[in-house]
Amino acid sequence: MNIGFVGLGIMGKPMAKNLLKAGHKLTVYDIVTASVEELTAAGAEAAASAAEAAARSELTITMLPDGPDVEAAVLNPGGVLEGAAAGSIIVDMSSINPVTAQKVGAACAEKGVEFLDAPVSGGEPKAIDATLAIMVGGSQATFDKSLPVLKSLGSSATLTGPVGAGNVTKLANQIMVACNIAAMGEALVLATKAGLDPEVVFNAVKGGLAGSTVLNAKAPMVIGRNFKPGFRICLHQKDLRNALLAAESMKVALPFTSMVQQMLVASVNNGRGELDHSAIVNIIEDMAQCQVRKPE
């Protein structure tokens, strides 16, 4: 398939490379020239604008930081929708407010362009090895047509409802991940402060009910003091902000989400916004004056 790809960041770049590996013809656009050059070296073609990328493509993927970026890249002059032909498909794989996804979807429908919101979970490691979990909102027909492309990017792709449902599902995912990391941080700080080896504690509990994919991925990073970003704190803070905005519009109380969001805001203000979201633990460490690490 001829595919356009707009947004070659920490997630978009490896996703675009996986589409090339799967044999698709790819046209890419990003405001960062170096990212475009890296993809063209891998076999993609460069476009001068998002509109040009879409004009050459049957399906165009956008992978951008937040809702305003998606609106600008899709709806503004020179954007994806300007170049997209009627009957083509736009798949936004960004994590954004569901209301924004619905707004973009409605604009696409007016032009006869099909639209899916399809945010992903798994961070950079799963973007690299094409094992992302993809949560999709849109029509069954559009989902079926797009599924071969989605399967090039993830190990699962699930249609969760109409346009906007993909991002509601992603927000639910982000709530569970953030609260899990925060709880893990409290537990490991407590264990370390008590004089225990946090790695021993991790190995003792990971096979029990407290075990989780989040624990297995993030506890070793914290214990090893490795906060190289797979998913940055500033982006998780954005996701929880969107979750709280969506919850407010539906009159849903999210008390744990609100507390963890405050920790993420504090982390950004403390200069940790570009660290991996496992660095949520640093806030708890600061309060306890105790750093999670193996005993000397």
Pairing of strands 89-92, 45-46: unpaired
Q: Which helix (H) or strand (E) holds 132?
A: strand 132-137
What is the DSSP secondary-structure string of 44-105?
Answer: -EE-SSHHHHHHT-SEEEE--SSHHHHHHHHHSTTSHHHHPPTT-EEEE-S---HHHHHHHH
Planar angle of CA 125, 10, 80, nearest 5 degrees: 125
d(CA 105, CA 116): 7
Residue partners of 161: CB distance under 8 A and separation at least 6: 137, 168
Q: Catalytic residue positions?
A: 170
d(CA 69, CA 62): 10
What is the structure's pLDDT at 91?
Answer: 98
| Structure letter (DSSP) for residue 208 | S
Amino acid, res. 63: M
What is the structure's pLDDT at 8?
Answer: 97
What is the structure's pLDDT at 123?
Answer: 86
Give me the half-sphere count of Cα atoms (radius 13 Å) on the Cβ side of residue 101: 32
d(CA 179, CA 112): 40
Residue partners of 48: CB distance under 8 A and separation at least 6: 29
Give me the residues of the chain with pLDDT under 50, please. Answer: none
Q: Which helix (H) or strand (E) holds 115?
A: strand 114-117
Contact 40, 70 (CB under 8 A): no
d(CA 182, CA 26): 39
What is the structure's pLDDT at 296?
Answer: 79
Closest CA to 149 of 108, 120, 179: 120
Task: Please state, in angstroms and as integers, the Cα–Cα distance from residue 141 to each residue in 31, 80, 146, 180, 295, following that order.
Answer: 32, 21, 9, 35, 56
Amino acid, res. 99: V
| 122 Cα distance to chain centroid | 7
Structure tokens at 109: 């429908």
Place of tokens 């029509």: 139
The residues facing 5 across adjacent strands are 28, 61
Residue partners of 193: CB distance under 8 A and separation at least 6: 288, 290
Amino acid, res. 269: N
Angle between helices 255-269 and 165-193 (to 10 degrees): 70
Residue partners of 216: CB distance under 8 A and separation at least 6: 206
What is the structure's pLDDT at 295?
Answer: 87
pTM, 2 dp: 0.90
d(CA 12, CA 70): 13
